[in-house]
Amino acid sequence: MSKSGLELFAQLIGELDSSTKTNDKLFALSNYFSQAPMPDRVWVIALFSGRRPRRIVGSTALQIWCAAQTALPDWLLAECYHTVGDLAETIALLLPGNTHSTDTHNLSYYIEALQKLEKESEETKRHFVITQWQQLHKDALFAFNKLITGGFRIGISQKMMVNALATSVQLDPSIIALRISGKWDPATTSFEALLSNDPQEKDFSKPYPFYLAHALEEAPQNLGDIEEWQAEWKWDGIRGQLIKRNGEIYVWSRGEELMTDKFPEYASLKNKLPDGIVLDGEIIPAKNGQPLPFALLQTRIGRKNISKKQLEEVPIAFFAYDLLEWQDQDIRDWPLEKRVHLLSNIVNNANLPHQLLLSKPIQATSWEELITIRNDSRSMLAEGLMLKRKNSIYQVGRKTGDWWKWKIDPLTIDAVMIYAQKGHGRRSNLYTDYTFAVKDGDKLVSFTKAYSGLTDKEFLQVDDFVKKNAIEKFGPVRTVKPELVFEIAFEGIAASNRHKSGVALRFPRILRWRKDKTVDDINTIADLKKLLALYGK
């Protein structure tokens, strides 16, 4: 008996989940792309590239329905959810599932059926979902639930998807990457149209795949003659592409999210920029050409509607550092120097110093001089420097050799763990999400959470400590004996009245477990305030 679209999809998830090698994942994906129904293929590309369908049922409703189906109390379902770390999976594990074979449909059938329910009553939605819960097999249940909750966490990079598609589609990988990034609606796009040799209509919004840099681990002197290199500040914003084509402006983030509407500031560029250009740069809040802290940018991107006050207080600019397209022509294979020269002309001619700036190359005649300049990064609100070979072309993805990010060391502080919570995904049922505190007199005051930075083995040890030293329980959170000391690293610090400590950290993570230190040795709130005074502007 041949498998239905949903079963094939469930099988794909199972295979991707259980394969530990990139090649096995690639094999499973390309196998899927060569046999799945056409509309399903489009949806899988969409789902695994973060284009989840609109959510039509909330988590709470799903939990209530599941509790009713299984006759379990709400709190027990919540405990299960905290342990599994994924609601779709929790529900699939709790429901009995259909043990008889029944007809199931294509993946696209379920997605479309769910989408049609958007405007329907809660009761109609409930009826549809519960009917599927009763009809589907256990394996298919998880896949179905995931269509509602989204977030596959399946570890498929865009590159892997492109490579998998390249085995069954007669297109160059870079063209596939170009096609599947950008704006398209899986509900109205056919597989043929998405990946055909001859697209019926031109998509003017399409960005290029970003060229990403590795971190420079060795001394810059090893890169050779400084004359061959261009240095720039590495800005602390959102990497983005600013596109002007066909009289319109489009702004893409590196996460391949179209963000044009979030930044109305960029609308003024429409009449000042020539047609047929793509700029690569950084989306940063800035006043009078000076960057503002990243924390302020976060107050802007979280909102659907931006108030006048926000536009005045946190204006957004674009710091351009590369030009990928000019006069409708892909110029990524030009040398960097030539691209940047053209770029500076475009920026100067636009003459909008509050919205569009050139991220100017830094002049230095020796590596030593550049090292001194780099030490000033924090006062420039930069994360360090970028080093780019002057004759480099603009490549696709993270490549070694021509571009390097050369970040300054993070700020650090020693703190004690006081709360722990179980993680998600591969950290399910393990206490991996921690809250840390510094000393305030003889009290402890929490100041940050951190989720990353320990090895799997260390996480197991801390998990064991939490299980043995939990004091109190607040929902999924455990308060633990303040004993384990960690060195916390972060990129920036800002004043905050949302946090008890009065500070908010940028990108906090665990640098190392200080087994040599006790809670008496940790830093104080005064130390944090000192860092805030130094770097918090």
The residues of the shown chain that bind other proteins, judged by CB under 8 A, are 17-20, 70, 72-73, 75-76, 79-80, 83-86, 89-90, 93-94, 424-430, 456, 473
Q: Residue 234 catalytic?
A: yes
Report the residue number, 15 or 313, with the smaller CB distance to other proteins: 15
Q: How far is the CB of 150 from other proteins (least distance, A)?
A: 16
Residue type, 483: E
Q: Please name the residue that has the structure tokens 């990403």.
A: 212
Length of the chain: 537
CB 36 within 8 A of CB 97: no
> Which tokens in the block code for residue 223?
């890169």
User: Residue 409: which residues within 8 A CB-CB, separation 6 or more?
Assistant: none
Residue 72 or 171 with smaller CB distance to other proteins: 72
d(CA 154, CA 152): 5
Q: What is d(CA 241, CA 212) in angstroms, rounded to the nearest whole number?
A: 13
DSSP 91-154: HHHHS----S------HHHHHHHHHHTTTS-HHHHHHHHHHHHHHS-HHHHHHHHHHHH-----
Backbone angles phi, psi at 374, to 5 degrees: -60, -35
Question: How crowded is the C-beta side of 421, counted as CA atoms within 13 Å?
Answer: 17
Helix (H), strand (E) at residue 494: strand 492-495
- Rounded to a whole number of angstroms, the minimum distance from the CB of residue 458 to other proteins is 13
Distance of CA 60 to the CA centre of its chain: 25
For other proteins, which is the closer residue by CB, 301 or 460?
460
The CA distance from 401 to 212, in Å, is 11
Nearest-approach distance from CB 132 to other proteins, in angstroms: 20
Q: Rounded distance, CA 350 to CA 355, Å?
A: 10
In the structure encoding, which two tokens stand for residue 235, read together?
């800005």
Nearest residue (CB) to other proteins, 420 versus 489: 420
- Minimum gap (Å) between residue 49 Cβ and other proteins: 21
Nearer to other proteins, 442 or 472 (CB): 472
Backbone angles phi, psi at 323, to 5 degrees: -125, 120
Q: How far apart are CA 243 and CA 249, in angstroms?
A: 6
CA angle (69, 12, 253) in 5-degree steps: 95
Amino acid letter, 14: G
Residue number with CB closer to other proteins (375 or 429): 429
If DSSP codes are grouped into helix, strand and coil, which group holds residue 406?
strand
Taking the complex as a whole, the smallest distance from the CB of residue 79 to other proteins amounts, in Å, to 5
CA 478 from centre of chain:
28
* Residue closer to other proteins, measured from CB, 65 or 535: 65
Q: Which of 125, 206, 234, 262 is catalytic?
A: 234
Residue 94 or 386: which CB sits closer to other proteins? 94
Residue 495 beta carbon to other proteins: minimum distance, rounded to whole angstroms = 37
Scan for tokens 């490579």, then name that residue.
163
In angstroms, the CA 88 to CA 308 distance is 40
Question: Minimum distance from CB of 73 to other proteins (Å)?
Answer: 7
Residues 6+ apart with CB under 8 A from 427: 85, 459
What one-character-per-residue DSSP string does 49-83 give?
A: TT-PPPP-S-HHHHHHHHHHHHT--HHHHHHHHHH
- The least distance separating other proteins from the CB of residue 469, rounded to whole angstroms, comes to 11
Q: Choose between 76 and 526: whose C-beta lies nearer to other proteins.
A: 76
The dihedral sign for the CA sequence 382, 387, 390, 392 = negative
What is the rounded CA–CA span in Å between residue 111 and residue 132? 12
Of 377, 115, 354, 363, the residue nearest 234 (C-alpha) = 377
Cβ proximity to other proteins: between 87 and 356 the closer is 87
- The set of catalytic residues is 234
